[in-house]
Amino acid sequence: MSGLGTVLEEEDASELKLGDDFVKAKCLMNAEVALVLQRKYEQLQQLSEDPVSQISQVFEKSLQYVKRFSRYQNPEAVKQVREVLTRNKLHEFEVCVIGNLCPETVEEAKAVIPSIAKKGRLDDERIETMLTDLATIKKFE
């Protein structure tokens, strides 16, 4: 039991202590996953005489889910969102949470991603600029 307590103490998203699985992982926003799955879906349809039989129910449900919860649909907009978030030196986890949840205010951003507010990371003005950039991308998508 004491080993479990140690693991729980070591992993803390608010401190960006995400565990070994996230150390080198590339996280994807829902919109990015939607683009990948859509491309694969189209390939399966083109290559198969019976595309319906080639696509599993799990694949279809996954595609429907990420499309439904993607805040950005346009591939260029998705790319721009990643560029804005990466330019601000965010951790992969932070990029995906902000890209998926699209907080509208600095307070909301800091509430969903406490790690961005840590001393020496991003000040409120920089967070505000980042959120404004994301809102502009969404507006012109």
**Which residues are CB-contacts of 47 (< 8 A; sequence separation ≥ 6)?**
54
* pTM score, whole prediction: 0.80
One digit per residue, pLDDT tens: the chain, 141 residues?
A: 444 544 455 776 666 677 777 777 789 999 999 999 999 988 888 877 765 666 888 999 999 999 999 999 999 999 999 999 999 989 898 999 999 999 999 999 999 999 998 877 899 999 999 999 999 999 998
